[in-house]
Amino acid sequence: MKRILLLLAVTSVVIYNLPSASASLIVQNYDGINVTYDDITDTYWYWDLSRFSGMTYNVQLDEIATIGVNGLTGTWGFASQSDINSLVNYDIIDIAIAFNTSSVTYATDFQTAEPVWYSMVWKGRFGPTQYQSGISFNDSLEFSLTAYSTAGWHWTGPSYFDIGPDNVNEIIGAWVVLDPQASPVPLPPSLLLMASGLIGLVGFTRKFRR
C-alpha cells in the first residue's frame, strides 16, 4: 500500500511538470464576440482588428473602451511590446487563422493578363503614443500573405513600423488585449493534481518515519 501511495504521488508531480502539447492561439466565442486566447501567456486578444480601422489613435482608444465581452472581466487596451513579442513567436499561419484580417485587397495585372492576385494583411497599432524629436508616433505590426495563381502562397513575417497617431489609413487596425491582471484565472486541474501529489508525499513520509 505504501508503495502504491508513493507511486501515485510521484506520478502526479511528474504529470504536472510535463510540457503542454496544446499550446496554441485559440479562437473562442463569447456571446457572439470572438476573442483569441493564447494559452501560453494566458492572454486574450481581440479577434477583429478591422473594427479599429479608419480611426486615429485617440478614436481607437475611445472605441477600445467600449469593448464588452460577456464572460470576461478586465480592461481592454493596446497590446504592449511584451505582448507583441509573445505573439510573433507563433507561426504566421497560426496568426492568420487566429485573427480577422484588417485588409483584403484584390488586383489584376492587365499587362501580363495574369489572373487576379489576392492579398490579406493583419496590420495594426500597438503600445501607447510615443514621442521622438518632437514627433509623436505609434508602433505598428503587420503580417501579410499573398496568393499568386502561378506561384502559390507567399507569407511574410512580422514587419514593424511607426505610424502617426493622426493617421486614418483604412487598413490600420489595432492589436488589443485584455489586461491579464484584471481577469480572474481559474485554478488549473493540473495544479490540483500536483497539490494532491505533494500531500500524498508528505503523508507517506510521516507514516514512513513512524
The dihedral built from the CA positions of residue 43, 44, 49 and 52, taken in this order, carries a sign that is negative
Which residues are paired to 135 by β-bridges?
Answer: 132
C-alpha cell at 56: 486615429
Q: What is the DSSP letter of 66?
A: T
Cell of 31: 456571446
Confidence band, pLDDT 50/70/90 cuts, at residue 62:
very high
Beta bridge partners of 177: 45, 77
Higher pLDDT, 199 or 55: 55
Q: Where are the alpha helices (DSSP H) in the chain?
A: 2-17, 57-65, 81-87, 92-98, 189-209
Nearest by Cα to 192 from 7, 3, 12: 12
Q: pLDDT value at position 15?
A: 35
Q: How far is CA 141 from the centre of its chain?
A: 13
pLDDT above 70 (res 106): no
Q: From 104, 172, 182, select the one nearest 137 (Cα to Cα).
A: 172
pLDDT, tens digit, for every residue of 15-52?
334 334 455 899 999 999 999 999 999 999 999 998 99
For residue 65, pLDDT over 90 is answered with: yes
Share of the chain above pLDDT 90, in %: 45
pTM of the model: 0.70
DSSP helix/strand/coil, 46:
strand
CB 31 within 8 A of CB 69: yes
Which residues does residue 84 pair with via DSSP β-bridges, in sequence order?
A: none
